[in-house]
Structure 1
Amino acid sequence: MTDWTTFAAVVGVVLAVLLVLTRRSADLLTAPNSGRDVDTDRFDESVGGADGHDAEGHSDDAEAASAFAADEWVWGAGTDDRRPESAGSTEPAESVERSQQADAAPSTTPGASRAGVGALSTAAVYANVVVSNGLFGSVVAAAAWWTAVPPSALGLSPVASPESLLVGVAVGAALAAGNEAAGRVTTRFGVRPDESLRAAMTPERAVGWAALLLVVLPSVAVFEEFLFRAVLVGALSAGFGVPTWLLVAGSAAAFAAGHGAQGRAGIVVTGLLGVALGAAYVATGSLFAVAVAHYVVNAAEFVVHEALAPGE
């Protein structure tokens, strides 16, 4: 017999921890008294300045990465509404912005990456994302097994099929196109997307792209769809009889809260993505389909803006 109450309690704890880690990640990225943001540290490193580690030897990149980190860096429709001003600066905001853009120019130092992060540092961020997703996903999966949650309640009957693959690709392509259109519209109205995190995750070498597209982004898509759609929508609906529309809305809100580093506009866009993926999950009953759709959206963002048109 399924112990739905215990399963829901474990899920609640995991979700709370993830949201706390995400908040910590956002705080690190927007630390007001650091005098410079994380990107500035990275670009200092690319020209022989800071080594990207604190006094205890921890990498800023590794600390900033959370279970949601990679997805935050992909969904670049959000922006921080604050003006980019340095601590204690008396320069006009426009001058500071121009100065920061100049600092963020690609380094010409041989071997330096476009984002100013060495290959080892980028690999550490990738590892952090994959390990954290795997750890929390394993906890939820173990809880589902221990409490005898049926696979059908998690969208795993069947696990995958050619039909669910085609549906996932189609839904993902439509959402990616919508995200691109929304980004262009907001840019025309002067709301530029925050692309620093996506740039920091962008590799330069083929092996880096292979790791990103074949390991990092799939792990993000599978974990987040497992938690936010299969568990928070499918399992809770099956176990407690809560209306699916209410669970879709709630899971989308939690999903959006996990992307606070993108600013208010980014939270809204991510919330809408959560609603669309939740609706797709309810319609298909397939975790595989929505995981594929999520992956297509993330991969398209990197390929279109970093591989095909870097810097846009």
Structure 2
Amino acid sequence: MTDWAAFAGFTGLVLAVLLSLAHFSRGVPHAEGTGSDAPAAPHDSESGPAQNARVGSPDDPVSTPAEPDETHEPADPDTVSLASFSVDSTDASPRPEPPTLAGGDGAADAESDVTAGSEPDSDREPPGVTAAPVSAVSERSASAADLPPHLLLANVALSQAFLGGFLGLGAWYAGVPAAALGFSVTDLPAKLALGVGLGIALYGANRVGSTVSERFGIAPDEAVRESLTPRTAAGWVFLFAVALPLIAGFEELLFRGALVGAVAAGFDVSPWLMAAVSSAAFGAGHGAQGRLGIVVTGLLGFVLAAAFVLTGSLLVVVVAHYLVNALEFAGHELFGW
């Protein structure tokens, strides 16, 4: 006999761990409506000298900030802890900035920063100018020595595999039928084709939505994707062949198979009600992507949940989920879409 209550306990524990990790991974709060590609915004004049300095030119005089305290040691470039995948460029404590270029010394200091190998703060850029791509790690991730992408990918893959294995162990212990979780070996080619079509359609809708939102000045936060982007050919192979399949498989097993399929079957609850609940949890589980990311992933999760309810197949939603993630990496990083 199936012990639905025991499996619900396993599911709740896994969900609690995942949401806790998502909460802690947010690190420093995100700036609303900003992403890694968004232009640097001017700051309020009361926020300190680090936010007052801007680049000037001989033909464009600007106000010169107050002379910084010479005894104050400049802080190191912003980094984040290992628990954080994405951060805002706002620093907790302001650090002194050199005078503007119009003052004469700012250019020399800026040149010394470049020769020292440090990346200039985004606050030093004039409004409307984005940071040019460089080989150094951006402020949205830790330094290359502390947080390289391949270690991030390995950490994500291992954590997802561990949680997925624990959930699978709970399903075996509770005697949950495979059909309740969406496992079936019938009509595999048709389900695979349906998953491919759904994944491509969702990716296309996501790109259109991102383009429209950027037109209104709402740029998605892409810090998580940037921090996970491989830098080597082996890293790309690991991403597409190991990390993304594990992520798609585990998340669909939890949010669609367990929260929708098993709960609806075991407790006589409407699967559409559970689709809404699981989609809200799915969005909250992507809190590292900021509030806009939570909303977008929540909507995506509901479409996947609806596909699961209509088809009863976990394979369809796993393939679709994988393609959305894979096309996002490939499209943006390889083809500049």
Q: Same fold (TM over 0.5)?
A: yes
- The aligned counterpart of 2:257 is 230
- CA distance in structure 1 between the aligned counterparts of 2:262 and 2:172, rounded to whole angstroms: 12
Matched to 1:208, the amino acid is G
Please state how far the C-alpha of 1:121 moved relative to its aligned partner. Answer: 2.2
Distance, in Å, in 1 between the alignment partners of 2:135 and 2:151 is 23
State the distance in 2 between where 1:96 and 1:236 align.
49
- Residues 123-138 of structure 1: matches in 2 within 5 Å? 123-138=150-165
* SS in structure 1 of the partner of residue 304 of structure 2: helix
What's 2:39 paired with?
A: none
Distance 1:125 1:240, change over 3 A: same
What is the distance in 1 between the residues matched to 2:316 and 2:224? 27
Q: Which residue in the other structure is 1:30 paired with?
A: 29
2:244 corresponds, among 187, 193, 217, to 217
**Cα drift, residue 103 of structure 1:** 9.3
AA matched with 1:64: S
Give ranges in structure 2 of 5+ residues lacking alignment.
37-75, 98-121
Question: Displacement of 1:85 after TM fit?
Answer: 3.9
Q: Does 1:139 align with 2:159?
A: no
- In structure 2, the residue matched to 1:15 is 15
Higher share of residues assigned helix: 1
Structure 1 vs Structure 2: percent identity of aligned residues?
45
- For residues 244 and 108 of structure 1, what CA distance do their matches in structure 2 show? 48
Structure 2 partner of 1:168 = 195
Contact 2:78 2:91 (C-alpha < 8 Å) held by counterparts? no
Partner of 1:4: 4
Give the total of aligned pairs.
Answer: 267
Inter-partner Cα distance in structure 2 for 1:29 and 1:152: 42
Contact 1:85/1:97, CA 8 A, preserved across alignment: no
Residues 1:196 and 2:196 are matched in the alignment = no
In 2, distance between residues paired with 1:122 and 1:239? 40
1:252 deviates by 0.1
Residues 268/2 of structure 1: CA separation in 2 closer, same or farther (3 Å cut): same
Shift of 1:118: 5.8
Aligned amino acid, residue 193 of structure 2: L
Please tell me the residue identity of whatever aligns with 1:269. V
Are the equivalent residues in 2 in contact too, given 1:168–1:289 (CA < 8 A)? yes
Q: Which amino acid aligns with 2:283?
A: A
Which residue of 250, 265, 281 corresponds with 2:292? 265
Root-mean-square deviation (Å): 3.3
Q: What is the alpha-carbon distance in structure 2 between the residues aligned to residue 51 and residue 23 of structure 1?
A: 21
CA offset digits 1:290-309 (Å, max 9, x no partner): 00000010011111111111
Q: CA deviation at 1:119?
A: 10
**2:84 — aligned with what?**
64
Deviation at 1:64, TM superposition (A): 3.0
Residues 159 and 287 of structure 1 are in contact (CA less than 8 Å); yes or no, is this contact kept in structure 2?
Answer: no
Give yes or no for contact 1:172–1:292 (8 Å, CA) kept in 2.
Answer: yes
| CA spacing shift, 1:203–1:100, aligned 2, 3 Å | farther
Change (3 A) 1:128 1:29: farther
Q: How many angstroms apart in 1 are the aligned matches of 2:279 and 2:252?
A: 11
Q: Which amino acid letter does the alignment assign opposite residue 10 of structure 1?
A: F
* Matched letter for residue 155 of structure 1: G
Task: Return the offset for 1:99.
Answer: 7.1
Q: Which moved more, 1:12-21 or 1:218-227?
A: 12-21
1:106 to 104, 128, 133: 133
CA distance in 2, matches of 1:307, 1:184: 18
**TM-score, L = length of structure 2:** 0.71
Q: TM-score, normalised by structure 1?
A: 0.76
Contact 1:256 1:274 in 2 (8 A): yes
Structure 1 CA distance for aligned equivalents of residues 294 and 124 of structure 2: 23
Is contact 2:308–2:317 with CA below 8 Å preserved after alignment?
A: yes
Offset at residue 148 of structure 1 (A): 0.5
Q: 1:191 to 1:31 in 2, by over 3 A?
A: closer
Shift of 1:96: 2.2
Partner Cα distance (1:252, 1:14) in 2: 16
Gap regions ≥5 residues in structure 1: 38-48, 53-58, 66-72, 74-79
Q: Which residue of 1 aligns with 2:267?
A: 240
Q: Matched residue of 1:64: which SS?
A: coil
CA separation of 1:205/1:97 partners in 2, compared to 1, >3 Å: closer, same or farther? same
